[in-house]
Structure 1
Amino acid sequence: MKALPNIKVLDLTRVLAGPYCTMILGDLGADVIKVEAPGGSDDTRKWGPPFIANESAYYLCTNRNKRALTINLRTVQGRNIIKKLVKSSDVIIHNFKTGAMEKWGLSYEELSQINEQLIFCSISGFGETGPLKGQPGYDAMIQAMGGLMSITGSKESGPTKVGVAVADLSAGLYATIAILAALNERNNSGKGQKIDISLFDTQIAMLANVASNYLISGKVPELHGNEHPNIVPYQPFHTKDGQLVVAVGNDTQFEKLCQVIGLDSLLADSRFATNAKRLENREELLNILKETILNWKKADLHEKLVGAGIPSGPIQNVKEVFEHPQTSERNMVVKAAFPNQESVSLVGSPLKMSRTKISVERHPPKAGEHTEEILTEHGFSEEEIALLKKENVI
């Protein structure tokens, strides 16, 4: 048994935010139908190398546990297929430019007339209201406009983006949360609703404590590099043989840190007695800690800190992450069957559930791989399918 049995999702998204959302729904057991134009229209299929069986690694990362259907939405027949599938769907999700679904006669208002229980989720750069509605949004520009780049990086580097598309990924997560909430609410009301997810809104929300600091103090946040705006010490330190992140979250942990590294004298220094004082005297404290920690070997210090209950960890590259026994124990690499390949390695799901377990039931599909299967399920005859193919509708 899966967590979302009998939930049917029409996925009209591409690239990252939408496909990430629908992959999570698929992992949870929803029947996700990935809709693309004939030949495939998800740009990420070509975002490589690396490739495996002519599909990019990028595409593979967000498209497992889906079936694939190709439809030309620029044709009346294609849009009519969507309307027919909507009758038995629980969710439809798209990330077309604002206004595209309305232009095609596939707006929430029109589709909800066909199925009043339909949950309609739109993901866009700036949402469906406001002066920037309709403008395209890609992750890097959203990180810039949403404030994230202004607090990421050091004074030396200047503003930098995060190394993975966090605006897209967080938008996908928020979309998933909203869809699950709407499905639950539907159990009481019997009605669907429209969800409007914006990458811009999501990025602002993800500023979290940094945004709160600004709203309360009025002070514009600065670049802190790998340091924390509210906690000291909370950053990487250089050791004899590499860098180790030390994350001290309270005064007790600071006391233990001083004891571990032989700086008990700091405990009597009023400049460092509380976190607020340590923030006030950040530079003085860090100069002392850096000089002392530089005399330690990374592994030795890490072992001592962990033993004392102080959060710490080495900066690992991706190879080291996937070779770590914790990664293996947590099943964060899974194997999936793949056409013309023995298998393909995918990142596992972080969702660990005791009864409704996550598993890879379907490989990331080829464009249109299940078109005939899906249309047959929805009452199309062999003759109708053949005609749709001939007319380049599917």
Structure 2
Amino acid sequence: MSYLPLEGVVVLDLTRHRAGPVTSRLLGDFGATVVKIDAPADLGDSMGGSREGFDYQNLHRNKMSLSLNLKSEEGRAIFYELVRKADVVLENFRPEVKHRLGVAYETVREVNPRIVYGSISGFGQKGPYQTLPAVDQTIQGMSGFMSVTGFPGQPPVRAGAAVADISAGMVLSQGVLMALYHRERTGEGQWVHTSLLESLVSMLDFQVVRYLSTGESPHAAGNDHPTLMPTGLFPTLDGHVNIAAAEDQKFRALCEVLGIPELAFEPLYADTALRSVNRKGLCEILSSKTREYSSAALQQKLNAAGIPCGPMFTIAQTMEDAQMQSLRMTEEGQHPRLGTVPLLGQPLHLEGCGGRPEVRFTAPDHGEHTDRILSEWLGMEASRIKDLHRQGVV
């Protein structure tokens, strides 16, 4: 029987921008009841564009919206009532803001000791930069990520996706799930936090360890692999093909396919270290041969020889490719005004739970579920809810 593994988990989502909503989207997609808490005035969202736009719909599907003024005493009281019923609270305020609003972990824990409280910040919860504002663009620069992106001798280049935001959201979702598992075993909630900076530095992985081990600060290598060659983008008659043939066996196979078997025994290219040092000359030789083939013909030959290779696709070509079609990485939601809304699916498959989750409902309108939550969850009378609206509390 198909089911969603996080059914029954209640998440109060105080986050804005992109990183935090990525976390709550993942939890919501896998069955959690996510309540997105919006300010009473519909100011939109600083990330995601129009509420009916493609980005907003993709970022905030499978969430409810509660309009609530946390700056008011009564609004905070309602929030605390919801905290008592919740499993997870997510926030990405700067430290002084969450304390001023009365929604910091210390306060929330007093209300519900079992709460899992998840935080994303720009730079972390301590240190000299903890109060500074940050966005994906600035963190890409400060993390060193941009310094290894682009071509040698040219200005640094940002990645073409919001890698700091998305990595932080994915890291926090992992932390929340681990904390929920910990709570199942111990009954204890806890504070889980990460930052854009930490998350993006972790994605640099071997590049950082290379510096820690050797003292060498990596630089941009264009389409080449930083250390393993030949790995990169090579020209063909009608475009380019990515080839990865760094291991000795694969390098020899590549040379055979290209009709230059003797190159594998050239002393300049005798092992991976030498091939990396002498990459310029090696790539020139290989490129002169790959240019003799069409992309499709070269890929066919390389695949037959067991050499990893692939075409250079646009996003449109990727999404229309037969392999991507078979993986069903697209989903559809049914919006009451927009009709069918195309959305990006989750990359995770849980076969024991029926595979990958579906979009249960599209992104909510501002405060769409306010009255329902106050009535059904907190048992408020209609007259009381009407008063809260009139006072600007909700």
Normalising to structure 1: TM-score of the pair? 0.96
What amino acid is aligned across from residue 349 of structure 1 in structure 2?
Q
Given the alignment, which residue of 28, 49, 62 partners 1:46? 49
Cα distance in 1 between the residues matched to 2:271 and 2:351? 41
Deviation, structure 1 residue 342: 2.4
Do the aligned residues in 2 keep the contact of 1:255 with 1:267 (CA within 8 Å)?
A: yes
Superposed CA RMSD: 1.3
Deviation, structure 1 residue 271: 2.0
Query: Matched residue pairs, number?
Result: 388
What amino acid is aligned across from residue 373 of structure 1 in structure 2?
R
What amino acid is aligned across from residue 59 of structure 1 in structure 2?
Y
Aligned to 2:165: 168
Deviation, structure 1 residue 134: 0.9
* Secondary structure of the corresponding residue to residue 246 of structure 1: strand
Aligned to 1:386: 386
After superposition, what is the alpha-carbon deviation per residue over 1:58-115, rounded to whole angstroms, capped at 9, x for unaligned? Answer: 2122211111111111111111111010001010001112221211222211111111
Unaligned runs of 5+ in 1: 48-53
Aligned to 1:203: 200
Cα distance in 2 between the residues matched to 1:384 and 1:157? 63
* Secondary structure of the corresponding residue to residue 211 of structure 2: helix
Cα distance in 2 between the residues matched to 1:349 and 1:94? 22
* Secondary structure of the corresponding residue to residue 334 of structure 2: strand
Deviation, structure 1 residue 45: 4.3
Do the aligned residues in 2 keep the contact of 1:152 with 1:160 (CA within 8 Å)?
A: yes
Aligned to 1:343: 340
Q: What does 1:20-35 correspond to in 2, within 5 Å?
A: 20-35=22-37
Do the aligned residues in 1 keep the contact of 2:48 with 2:59 (CA within 8 Å)?
A: no
Deviation, structure 1 residue 157: 3.3
Do the aligned residues in 2 keep the contact of 1:40 with 1:367 (CA within 8 Å)?
A: no
Cα distance in 2 between the residues matched to 1:386 and 1:286? 71
Aligned to 1:50: none
Aligned to 1:51: none
Do the aligned residues in 2 keep the contact of 1:9 with 1:89 (CA within 8 Å)?
A: yes
* Secondary structure of the corresponding residue to residue 13 of structure 2: strand
Do the aligned residues in 2 keep the contact of 1:139 with 1:167 (CA within 8 Å)?
A: yes
Is residue 374 from structure 1 mapped to residue 373 from structure 2 by the alignment? yes
After superposition, what is the alpha-carbon deviation per residue over 1:324-354, rounded to whole angstroms, capped at 9, x for unaligned? Answer: 1111111111111012132100011111111
Deviation, structure 1 residue 156: 4.6
Given the alignment, which residue of 1, 4, 7 partners 1:5? 7
* Secondary structure of the corresponding residue to residue 313 of structure 2: coil
* Secondary structure of the corresponding residue to residue 137 of structure 1: coil
Given the alignment, which residue of 68, 72, 76 partners 1:71? 68
Do the aligned residues in 2 keep the contact of 1:232 with 1:279 (CA within 8 Å)?
A: yes
Q: 1:249 to 1:30 in 2, by over 3 A?
A: farther
Q: What does 1:257-336 correspond to in 2, within 5 Å?
A: 257-336=254-333
* Secondary structure of the corresponding residue to residue 44 of structure 1: coil
Aligned to 2:135: 138
Do the aligned residues in 2 keep the contact of 1:239 with 1:295 (CA within 8 Å)?
A: yes
Runs of 4 or more above 3 Å deviation = none
Deviation, structure 1 residue 56: 2.1
Do the aligned residues in 1 keep the contact of 2:149 with 2:221 (CA within 8 Å)?
A: yes
Q: 1:248 to 1:384 in 2, by over 3 A?
A: farther
Do the aligned residues in 2 keep the contact of 1:305 with 1:312 (CA within 8 Å)?
A: yes
Is residue 15 from structure 1 mapped to residue 12 from structure 2 by the alignment? no
Do the aligned residues in 2 keep the contact of 1:125 with 1:200 (CA within 8 Å)?
A: yes
Cα distance in 2 between the residues matched to 1:292 and 1:381? 77
Aligned to 2:359: 360
Deviation, structure 1 residue 388: 0.8
Aligned to 1:100: 97
Do the aligned residues in 2 keep the contact of 1:32 with 1:67 (CA within 8 Å)?
A: yes
Given the alignment, which residue of 97, 100, 114 partners 1:117? 114
Do the aligned residues in 2 keep the contact of 1:44 with 1:56 (CA within 8 Å)?
A: no
Deviation, structure 1 residue 239: 0.7
Percent of paired sites with the same residue: 36
Do the aligned residues in 2 keep the contact of 1:93 with 1:120 (CA within 8 Å)?
A: yes
Is residue 244 from structure 1 mapped to residue 241 from structure 2 by the alignment? yes
Deviation, structure 1 residue 250: 1.8
Normalising to structure 2: TM-score of the pair? 0.96
* Secondary structure of the corresponding residue to residue 297 of structure 2: helix
* Secondary structure of the corresponding residue to residue 334 of structure 1: strand
Do the aligned residues in 1 keep the contact of 2:264 with 2:270 (CA within 8 Å)?
A: yes
Do the aligned residues in 1 keep the contact of 2:52 with 2:338 (CA within 8 Å)?
A: no
After superposition, what is the alpha-carbon deviation per residue over 1:111-144, rounded to whole angstroms, capped at 9, x for unaligned? Answer: 1111110011111101110000111110000000
After superposition, what is the alpha-carbon deviation per residue over 1:282-316, rounded to whole angstroms, capped at 9, x for unaligned? Answer: 11211111111111111110111122221111111
What amino acid is aligned across from residue 43 of structure 1 in structure 2?
S
Cα distance in 2 between the residues matched to 1:252 and 1:29? 46
Do the aligned residues in 1 keep the contact of 2:89 with 2:115 (CA within 8 Å)?
A: yes
What amino acid is aligned across from residue 336 of structure 1 in structure 2?
G
* Secondary structure of the corresponding residue to residue 87 of structure 1: helix
Deviation, structure 1 residue 42: 2.0
Cα distance in 2 between the residues matched to 1:368 and 1:91? 20
Do the aligned residues in 2 keep the contact of 1:122 with 1:195 (CA within 8 Å)?
A: yes
* Secondary structure of the corresponding residue to residue 323 of structure 2: helix
After superposition, what is the alpha-carbon deviation per residue over 1:212-241, rounded to whole angstroms, capped at 9, x for unaligned? Answer: 111111011111111111110111111110
Cα distance in 1 between the residues matched to 2:384 and 2:306? 66
Unaligned runs of 5+ in 2: none
What amino acid is aligned across from residue 392 of structure 1 in structure 2?
G
Higher mean alpha-carbon deviation, 243-252 vs 80-89, is at 243-252
Do the aligned residues in 1 keep the contact of 2:171 with 2:199 (CA within 8 Å)?
A: yes
